[in-house]
Structure 1
């Protein structure tokens, strides 16, 4: 069986801070597509490059099975989504995507990025945010996704503060022009429906551990202070394919041996199968983030992969 080229075990998505700080108004489906596109970008990509997103890949990573109508609505919204970026000579308004083509019978969407935006996504140099693809895709809350990106931007400093009203605005819960009704206006609602669920998902599913405190003006909570810590032992394992097959195989073999898989014939069987590699990577990731101790890691691995 011909080996498919495998993804790096430390795949990261990098995103320009001008976009990271933008107001969030994307749905969960749109965010999943957006982050998938970001994962495909490479330095040197030219305007007009087509990025192919396989719907099955999204399901394998997230467990969310977006249907055709949901995806069409999502890409239509992304094509209409406009970022505003302050450049040296003026304000740039640019659409996130320029086109999306659904390839018949392939379960694949071919996406083009607006040419004016591409440099901000690709040519990053010193002004970028780095965040791990699997972590952000594994979160179901759109607020958790957006906040995780912000925390990743500030993780080297370890601290982020934001006014509550500014956060409501950036999460698209409050219309700055007052034309739309405000969502979760009361602090208790905002905390229970946005902040706490997001914190739980970020702390359970990512390489960050975040706590927060509040600041009041009188009896009103006006500011949130977040303490951000990276989990140094966290190793993200991405069940994707990229052009680093030999190195990925070495890393995967090492991880299997670390949990007690020493049967070289079994290891070879996993490495020779694209499908088993994906299952192994996913299983090893799940074992890494599970809070309860697994008494027999090798046995759990074999049972999960049915080998």
Structure 2
């Protein structure tokens, strides 16, 4: 049995906490593309993408990953981990590519992209250099529309390629359901179709790269649908069921039914507690209400104009509800004292002093800034009087 030193355990816990905060943001075309790779290169790609700051794209398409992050992400702690890491890198570069389908003229254009052509590391240093191909970058940065964000920690728990492929696609649909449920702009049946998306068997085989595999539908049902969806339901925040739609005597398509779990997996002991469940529901209802108000608030528009909020931030309910609850009431105070022009001047001032830390903790940064500024304004008014 391998004994892990206490210091190493502490580093693993710290790294795990850091990984749990990471998000993966990708264009929907990449999510619906054919991933010509197995689970290890696909998970490694997702890990590398989580390092990209979409507001400040990396120079030369390069990001830096620590081996400790890699080993923790893949839950590797044996003595052979360095050689396994080398094998995984080689495998990713030799076999991994995305085949993206684009509409063009009267048909489709197919583009094959090797996402990570260059990796550099040493056997005596923790840092790993990963360079994305220029062709993949448009699918990872400057994403204004048609993109999906999901948690890296949920990908790390999935152990089959098909579970990862389906999870990304299901997240894409459910994110659209949440977005249009709050923002509007779609008919009710369209909104519900995002929560209950349908895909033909042909398209499903294409996306999972199983056109020539599992020809017996019973095997396809087990290995491409049932087992992966059970894995997604067990290890992620999504709960998924499905039904088969027949056309004649054969199965023509699959309808997926997606819901978000109300109670976290690690709180299973509370799942039968009605007080806890009611509290969680009220908490989520309050957050949803605050999010809707924040989206409609003129202050959100001002923050976007000053580049203090990004389009990706608008998909994060915790940021929006936090702004509506803790920041916007203080902007109302400043507006009363200095008018809307005063609010704009304050935002322009703090934008010029923003650093990388504040960009990753934008709600906290804005709250702290206005809390420090309001007393100054009030003192100035008293002195003036």
Q: Same fold (TM over 0.5)?
A: yes
Task: Describe the SS at the equivalent of 1:40.
Answer: coil
Whole-Å separation in 2 of the counterparts to 1:57 and 1:8: 8
1:7 aligns with 2:18: yes
Q: State the partner residue of 1:115.
A: 134
**Aligned with 1:170 (options 187, 207, 213):** 207
* Residue-by-residue CA offset, 1:213-265 (whole Å, 9 max, x unaligned): 001123211210001112244499xxxxx958x98xx9xxxxxxxxxxxxxxx
**Aligned with 2:166 (options 128, 131, 147):** 147
Looking at both structures, which has the greater relative contact order when contacts are Cα pairs under 8 Å and sequence separation is at least 6?
A: 1
Q: State the partner residue of 2:87.
A: 69
After superposition, the Cα gap between the structure-2 partners of 1:233 and 1:199, relative to the gap in structure 1 and judged at 3 Å, is same
Q: State the partner residue of 2:213.
A: 183
Q: State the partner residue of 1:19.
A: 30
CA contact (8 A) 1:211 1:227 kept: yes
Across the two proteins, how many residue pairs are aligned to each other? 232
| Higher fraction of strand | 1
Map 1:10-159 onto structure 2 (within 5 A).
10-42=21-53, 43-64=55-76, 66-78=84-96, 81-84=97-100, 86=102, 94-106=113-125, 108-155=127-174, 156=177, 157-159=194-196
5+ residue gaps, structure 1, are 175-181, 237-241, 251-307
Using structure 2 for the length normalisation, give the TM-score: 0.54
CA contact (8 A) 1:137 1:145 kept: no
* Residue-by-residue CA offset, 1:180-200 (whole Å, 9 max, x unaligned): xx2111111111222111011
After superposition, the Cα gap between the structure-2 partners of 1:135 and 1:88, relative to the gap in structure 1 and judged at 3 Å, is same
5+ residue gaps, structure 2, are 1-6, 178-193, 267-355, 365-385
Map 1:248-259 onto structure 2 (within 5 A).
none
After superposition, the Cα gap between the structure-2 partners of 1:44 and 1:88, relative to the gap in structure 1 and judged at 3 Å, is farther
The CA RMSD measured in Å over matched residues stands at: 3.2
Whole-Å separation in 2 of the counterparts to 1:110 and 1:149: 25
CA contact (8 A) 1:40 1:51 kept: yes
CA contact (8 A) 2:52 2:58 kept: no
Whole-Å separation in 2 of the counterparts to 1:225 and 1:28: 24
Between 124-133 and 111-120, the greater mean CA deviation after superposition: 111-120
Using structure 1 for the length normalisation, give the TM-score: 0.66
* Residue-by-residue CA offset, 1:20-41 (whole Å, 9 max, x unaligned): 1101222111012101111100
Whole-Å separation in 2 of the counterparts to 1:235 and 1:10: 17
Whole-Å separation in 1 of the counterparts to 2:170 and 2:150: 9
Q: State the partner residue of 1:220.
A: 250
Higher alpha-carbon Rg = 2
Whole-Å separation in 1 of the counterparts to 2:227 and 2:127: 32
Between 40-49 and 198-207, the greater mean CA deviation after superposition: 40-49
CA contact (8 A) 2:19 2:152 kept: no
| Higher fraction of helix | 2
